[in-house]
C-alpha cells in the first residue's frame, strides 16, 4: 500500500502525477472511504450561459489539470491538508443539459446527499455560475443564512435575461430573494467591465451586496481587501464562490465571458489565503470552459483555487474523521 498516503491520496513519489486515477488531485473516490470531511463535486451544467458555452466540460478539465498539484503539503498555508481531513472526489452530478429547473433540482439533491447530516463540506467544480444557486440552497438548509464571498468580473445579480429568471447572470439576486444570504454580510470582489445600465449597480446595492471592484485592489491592497471581507462576513458561515473570470483573461482565457483588467493569479491566491480562519462551509470554482483554454492555463488556475479552498477548510475543520482512511 505504499502507493497511498495515510488518507488515501496517491503518493507521487510512487506513482508519478501524470499517471494513476483521474480524481481531483488523485484523492480517493467517495466509494473508496468509509467517511469523509470534504468532497470535491463536479457540476457539469452550462445551460445558464449567456455568451460562450462550454463550462460543462469544466469538471474534467479541472481534474486533469489538478494532477499537477502537490497536495501533500500547502506551503503558504503551512498545513498538510490531506492529513487533517479526509478529502474525496464525489464525481459529477448527473443532470440534464436541457432543463434548468430539473438540473438545479438534481444538483441540490446530490449536494445534500454528499453533505449528509454531519459537518461535511463541498467544493464544487463548475459548470457555469448557475450551479451556485442550488449549492447555496443545499448549504442554507444545512447552515442557515450564509455570507457570500463572491469573486467575479460580473455581479450576477440581474433580474432576468431574455426573460429567464435562472441564468448565470441572475443567480445571486435569486439567492438574495430566497433569503439564502445573511443580511449585509455578502461581498463581490473583482467586479469590472461594461454593464447594460447604471441601475445594475444600484439594484445590486439594494440587494445588500458590497463591492470591491478590480481597480479598488490597487488602492486597498490585498491586506486591505481581505480585512474588508473579514469585517463584512464576521463569524457567519461563509460560502466562497469563485468565477474564474475574476482573473484577467491573460490568466484565465478559458472562460465564457472574459473581461479585461482582472486580478492576476498571484493576487487571487494571496487574497484567498488571507481569508484563513473564516468559517468556510462551502465553495465553488465555476465558469472554466476548457475549449477556449490554452496550455491548461485556466484549468490549472481553477484546480489551484479549488485546492486552496479545500486547504482553507481543512484548517478550520475539527479534525480527521475516525476510521476515515482510504483503501
CA–CA separation, 172 and 153 (whole Å): 14
Q: Does residue number 156 form part of the binding site for Mn ion (CB under 5 A)?
A: yes
In three-state secondary structure terms, 164 is strand
Nearest to Mn ion of 26, 150 (CB atom): 150
Q: Does residue number 245 form part of the binding site for Mn ion (CB under 5 A)?
A: yes
Please select the residue that binds Mn ion; options are 69, 139, 147, 153, rule is CB under 5 A: 153
Least distance to Mn ion, CB of residue 119, Å: 27
Nearest to Mn ion of 156, 248 (CB atom): 156
What residues between 178 and 237 interact with Mn ion by CB under 5 A?
none
Nearest to Mn ion of 74, 129 (CB atom): 129
Nearest to Mn ion of 6, 53 (CB atom): 53
Please select the residue that binds Mn ion; options are 92, 108, 243, 248, rule is CB under 5 A: 243
Nearest to Mn ion of 46, 296 (CB atom): 46
Residue 277, Ramachandran bin (φ over 0: left; ψ between -120 and 50: alpha; else beta): left
Least distance to Mn ion, CB of residue 195, Å: 12
Question: Binding string, 34-63, against Mn ion, x = CB under 5 A?
Answer: ------------------------------
CA–CA separation, 25 and 173 (whole Å): 33
CA–CA separation, 141 and 135 (whole Å): 10
Mark the segment that binds Mn ion (CB under 5 A) among 60-68, 179-187, 211-219, 245-253. 245-253
Task: Find, among 68, 70, 69, 71, the residue nearest to 81 by Cα.
Answer: 71
**Helix/strand/coil (H/E/C) assignment for every residue in 52-110:** CCCHHHHHHHHHHHHCCCCCCCECCCCECHHHHCCEEEEEECCCCCCCHHHHHHHHHHH
Q: Does residue number 296 form part of the binding site for Mn ion (CB under 5 A)?
A: no
Least distance to Mn ion, CB of residue 163, Å: 20
Task: Find, among 189, 224, 194, the residue nearest to 209 by Cα.
Answer: 189
| 38 phi and psi angles, rounded to 5 deg | -130, 130
The size of the interface with Mn ion (CB under 5 A), counted in residues, is 7
Amino acid at each position: 500500500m505504499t502507493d497511498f498516503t495515510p488518507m488515501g491520496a496517491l503518493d507521487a513519489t510512487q506513482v508519478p502525477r501524470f499517471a494513476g486515477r483521474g480524481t481531483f488531485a488523485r484523492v480517493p473516490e467517495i466509494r473508496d472511504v468509509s467517511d469523509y470531511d470534504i468532497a470535491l463535486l463536479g457540476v457539469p451544467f452550462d445551460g445558464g450561459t449567456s455568451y460562450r458555452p462550454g463550462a460543462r466540460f469544466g469538471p474534467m478539465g479541472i481534474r486533469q489539470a489538478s494532477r499537477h498539484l502537490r497536495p501533500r503539503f500547502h506551503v503558504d498555508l503551512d498545513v498538510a491538508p490531506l492529513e487533517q481531513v479526509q478529502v474525496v472526489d464525489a464525481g459529477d452530478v448527473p443532470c440534464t443539459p436541457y432543463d434548468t429547473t430539473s438540473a438545479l433540482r438534481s444538483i441540490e439533491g446530490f449536494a445534500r446527499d454528499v453533505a449528509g447530516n454531519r459537518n461535511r463540506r463541498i467544493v464544487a467544480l463548475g459548470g457555469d455560475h448557475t450551479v451556485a444557486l442550488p449549492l447555496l440552497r443545499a448549504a442554507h438548509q444545512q447552515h442557515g443564512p450564509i455570507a457570500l464571498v463572491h469573486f467575479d468580473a460580473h455581479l450576477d445579480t440581474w433580474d432576468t435575461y431574455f426573460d429567464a429568471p435562472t441564468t448565470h447572470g441572475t443567480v445571486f439576486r435569486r439567492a438574495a430573494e430566497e433569503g439564502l444570504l445573511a443580511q449585509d454580510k455578502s461581498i463581490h470582489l473583482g467586479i469590472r467591465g461594461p454593464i447594460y445600465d447604471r441601475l445594475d449597480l444600484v439594484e445590486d446595492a439594494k440587494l445588500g451586496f458590497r463591492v470591491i471592484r478590480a481597480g479598488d485592489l490597487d488602492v486597498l491592497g490585498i491586506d486591505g481587501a481581505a480585512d474588508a471581507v473579514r469585517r463584512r462576513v464576521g463569524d457567519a458561515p461563509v460560502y466562497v464562490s469563485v468565477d474564474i473570470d475574476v482573473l484577467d483573461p491573460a490568466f484565465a482565457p478559458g472562460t465564457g465571458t472574459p473581461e479585461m483588467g482582472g486580478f492576476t493569479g498571484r493576487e487571487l491566491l494571496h487574497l484567498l489565503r488571507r481569508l484563513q480562519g473564516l468559517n468556510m462551509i462551502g465553495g465553488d470554482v465555476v465558469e472554466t470552459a476548457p475549449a477556449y483554454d490554452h496550455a491548461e492555463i485556466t484549468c490549472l488556475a481553477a484546480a489551484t483555487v479549488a485546492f486552496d479552498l479545500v486547504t482553507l477548510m481543512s484548517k478550520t475543520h475539527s479534525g480527521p474523521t475516525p476510521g476515515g482512511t482510504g483503501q
